[in-house]
Amino acid sequence: MAIINERLKELDEEIKNAEGDISRTQILISGLPNASSISQSDVSLRIILLQNTLPNYENNLNAIMDRRSELKFSLAKAKDFKIFDAPIKPKNPVGPNKKQNVIIVGMSSLMLGVFLAFVLEFWQKSKEGEAK
């Protein structure tokens, strides 16, 4: 839960930054027509570029807010989590079945050996057939 709370703080900071970016962009858009040191065509171009970036900032802000809402929802769900029974350590711990493993390895080795013998015999007969 501490991790989720930390992430929520990070998302709140990201939201503040995104809102700041949006407000600065809007201020730039409204202030550019009054700039006297820039030509009118440059002002128009800059306004268009800033207006095109504004939806990206807004989409980013919405995505961050959605993530924050999801985290808050998961945090609320996590608080409802209850343990009904404590875990129990078994008296006879489960371990590998050595006898079964040895049998499986032995059968696999036998089958692999028979397969290898057939492959080698087939390979030798095909070499003899090519030589004739």
Residue 106 pLDDT: 97
Residue 1 pLDDT: 63
Q: Please choose, from the candidates 62, 64, 56, 59, the residue with its C-alpha nearest in 3D space to the C-alpha of residue 11.
A: 64
Q: What is the mean pLDDT of residues 90-110?
A: 92
Q: Is the pLDDT of residue 103 over 90?
A: yes
Residue 79 pLDDT: 65
Q: Which residues of 28-55 are buried (b: 16+ CB within 10 A; e: fewer)?
A: ebeebeeeeeeeeeeeeeeeeebeeebe
Which pTM does this prediction carry? 0.49
Task: Note the pLDDT tens digit of each residue in 18-74.
Answer: 888 888 888 887 877 776 677 777 878 888 888 888 888 888 889 989 988 888 888
Q: Give the percent of the chain with pLDDT over 70.
A: 93
Q: What is the mean pLDDT of residues 92-119?
A: 94
